[in-house]
Amino acid sequence: MWIFYTILTAFFLASCDAITKDLLTRHSPWEVIQVRFILATLFLAPLFPIWGIPRLDATFWLAAGTDLPLEILALLLYLRAIEISPLSLSLPFLSFTPLFLLVTSRLMVGEHISPQATIGISLMVVGSYLLQVGKIKEGLLEPLRALGREKGSMLMLLVAFIYSITSNLGKMAITHSSPQFFALFFSIEMAAVTVMIPIKGKRRLHLREKGMVLMALLFALHYLFHTLALNLARVSYMISLKRTAILFGVIYGRILYKEEGIRERLSGAMLMVAGAILISIAP
């Protein structure tokens, strides 16, 4: 069941990203963040009476408190990355989250690296190289140099590392509460932060704009299924499979934004996802 939940998570996330990229052409990243979490909270709140409030211990509050500032930082970097770079070039670098999880999960929850996972890592590295294979005629190392010049890709790589930490923190918070409760709790705390933090310039909430509403609904569905899947599976397994959102993102980039070089990027993205899947099913 966790595999089904994770695929749904990936689809909703990629769809949310595709709409967000368009919204960022008209609104600031902070405006998008505010509306995303305020509306997501409203979408999830009606289900709250069904779930109730579980018993919350010190571990929950420690994990949730540590997770919050890291999630805010990651989200700001995430939005900036998809704002300045093509979806098909920036999103694939989220595949490196499983690579970082091999280290962070071992330190935080005791997971270990297997030979199969090592093969998966190799596939992700090759996939990242193929993302800019069109530049190989300029020199064997030119694709790697091009990746270094692509700000969105570098920002997304940093996001991938942060998510390798927050994924473990989220798992801890979920196991010490419930998936449904933490989905709503996370939306509430993020919405509160976006309202309270002072931002220069005039604040505007576009709560009735259709694109904003759809973006927030997709995000709420994504995070609900994310917590359900994470509760049932090992962190490295679930997060690895969630990166199938990359393939959806590459397709959206071509269909909605007519992004070029889609074939070379799709082949690279597929290798990266293949590597992530190998890691997800590794013993």
User: What is the pTM assigned to this prediction?
Assistant: 0.80
Q: How confident is the model at residue 176 (pLDDT cuts 50, 70, 90)?
A: very high
pLDDT at 21 (0 to 100): 85
Q: Which two tokens stand for residue 147?
A: 């990746």
* pLDDT band at residue 135 using 50, 70 and 90 as cut-offs: low
Look at residue 55 and give its three-state secondary structure.
coil
For residue 11, the one-letter residue type is: F
- What's the mean per-residue pLDDT of the chain? 83
Q: What is the DSSP letter of 26?
A: T
Sole residue written with tokens 């499979």: 241
The residue among 121 and 55 whose pLDDT is bigger is 55
E strands within the chain? none
pLDDT bucket at 207, cuts 50 / 70 / 90: confident
Helix (H) or strand (E) holding 224: helix 210-232
Task: Give the integer Cα–Cα distance in Å for 24 and 84.
Answer: 10
Is pLDDT larger for residue 19 or for residue 200? 19
Q: What was the pLDDT predicted at 184?
A: 92
User: What pLDDT sits at residue 270?
Assistant: 82
**Which of 273, 270, 283 is CA-nearest to residue 99?**
273
Interatomic CA distance for residues 54 and 33, integer angstroms? 28
Distance separating alpha carbons of residues 188 and 169, to the nearest angstrom:
17
Residues 6+ apart with CB under 8 A from 115: none
Higher pLDDT, 37 or 240: 37
Nearest alpha-carbon partner for 254 in 14, 5, 1: 14
Encoded tokens for 241: 């499979």
- The one-letter code for the residue type at 113 is I
Cβ(242)–Cβ(9) under 8 Å?
yes
| pLDDT at 72 (0 to 100) | 87
Six-digit token pair at 141?
A: 């190392």
Of 136-140, 163-167, 206-210, 271-275, the range with the highest mean pLDDT is: 163-167
Higher model confidence: residue 259 or residue 185? Answer: 185
| Residue type for position 1 | M
Tell me the range of 4-13, 131-140, 269-278 where mean pLDDT is highest.
4-13
